[in-house]
């Protein structure tokens, strides 16, 4: 039974008074605990698709099922991390990461205690009382991840969380995220523009076409985990997968 299922979603928005077909007949499914990446050209509807799953937008047609339940009321059913960390500059890191439990009206003291317990795992130990401006880009992303995890949902939608980071920090956080995923066994849908990243992280890669976005390729990643050492010793396997995905992106 899929943890998250999208069935024949179509979505249209208006631009300068004219309808624009953004997504057409999109279907996908994620199993419990699966890590799936979604790639596609700019404007193909990747972020729009996440916003529909989280409940910020409603499709023109089609169904979205969470835990096998079709629903139009999805706000709060999945955890969502947008492209920017969106940390509030006037709040400390601890106060930022407990924002989701606060919005959900959970016990604030318990939420802070839980956040403090997780700080070491998220590489934030000792920075509870720091402000966002005092942190590096990588640490800000870790804080944004912790805030997302504290939303208390086991489906995570991540929209290009490493896109603005340098290559070294990006790889460090990719490995860190895989460790977090394996520890908690979340179901993750991860949007990226980076073909190598899409392969490195995922069990499967889905490719969206140019607008209107449609799923035009589904690639099961056959590489064993952990991947860093394997890819270093078998670079031709990685190149073959990248070539296949780039061909799909080019249409």
- Report the run of H or E that residue 66 belongs to, with start and end: strand 61-66
> Which pLDDT belongs to residue 220?
95
CA dihedral 77, 142, 161, 58 (to 10 degrees): 20
pLDDT score recorded for residue 163 = 81
Q: Write down the CATH number for the domain with range 29-58+74-78+155-251.
A: 3.40.50.300
pLDDT digits over 204-235, tens only? 999 999 999 999 999 999 988 888 878 878 88
What pTM did the predictor assign? 0.90
Q: Please state, in angstroms and rounded to a whole number, the distance separating the CA atoms of residues 108 and 205.
A: 38
Instruction: State which H helix or E strand residue 143 sits in.
Output: helix 137-149
Query: Residue 98 and residue 94: Cα distance in Å, rounded?
Result: 7
**Residue 26 pLDDT:** 96
| pLDDT tier at 164, thresholds 50, 70, 90 | confident
What average pLDDT does the structure give for the chain?
90
* CA dist 196 → 28, 29, 97, 183, 238 (Å): 21, 22, 30, 23, 8
Cis before residue 122, ω within 30 degrees of 0? no
Residue 216, pLDDT score: 94
Please give the Cα distance from 53 to 158 (Å, whole number): 12
Query: Distance (Å, rounded) from C-alpha 28 to C-alpha 108?
Result: 37
Q: How many separate helices (H) and strands (E) can be counted in the chain?
A: 9, 10
Separation of CA 178 from chain center: 12
| Nearest CA-CA partner of 1 in 71, 48, 68, 96 | 68
Q: For the chain, give every domain's residue range.
A: 29-58+74-78+155-251, 84-152
**How many other CB atoms sit within 10 Å of the CB of residue 129?**
10
125-139 pLDDT, tens per residue?
999 999 999 998 888
Q: Tokens representing 82? A: 């947008």
Q: How many residues does the chain have?
A: 251
Residue 86 confidence (pLDDT)? 84
For 200, the enclosing helix (H) or strand (E) is helix 195-201
pLDDT digits (tens, 9 = 90+) for 51-96: 999 999 999 999 999 988 877 788 888 999 988 888 999 999 999 9
């Amino acid at each position: 039974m899929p943890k998250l299922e999208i069935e024949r979603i179509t979505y249209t928005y208006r631009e300068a008074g004219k309808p624009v077909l953004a997504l057409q007949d999109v279907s996908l499914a994620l199993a419990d605990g699966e890590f799936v990446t979604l790639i596609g050209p700019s404007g193909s509807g990747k972020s729009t698709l996440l916003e529909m799953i989280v409940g910020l937008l409603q499709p023109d047609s089609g169904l979205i099922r969470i835990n096998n339940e079709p629903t139009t009321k999805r706000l709060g059913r999945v955890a969502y991390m947008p492209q920017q960390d969106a940390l509030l500059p006037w709040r400390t890191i601890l106060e930022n990461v407990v924002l989701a439990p606060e919005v959900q009206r959970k016990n604030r003291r318990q939420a802070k205690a839980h956040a403090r317990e997780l700080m070491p795992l998220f590489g934030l130990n000792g920075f509870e009382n720091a402000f966002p401006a005092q942190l590096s880009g990588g640490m800000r992303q870790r804080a944004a991840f912790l805030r997302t995890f504290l939303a208390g949902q086991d489906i995570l939608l991540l929209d290009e969380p490493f896109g603005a980071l340098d290559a070294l920090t990006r790889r460090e956080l990719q490995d860190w995220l895989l460790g977090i995923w394996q520890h908690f066994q979340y179901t993750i849908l991860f949007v990226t523009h980076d073909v190598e990243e899409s392969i490195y992280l995922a069990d499967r890669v889905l490719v969206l076409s140019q607008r209107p976005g449609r799923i035009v390729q589904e690639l099961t990643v056959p590489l064993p985990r952990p991947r860093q050492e394997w890819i270093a010793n078998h670079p031709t396997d990685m190149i073959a997968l990248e070539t296949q995905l780039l061909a799909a992106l080019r249409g």
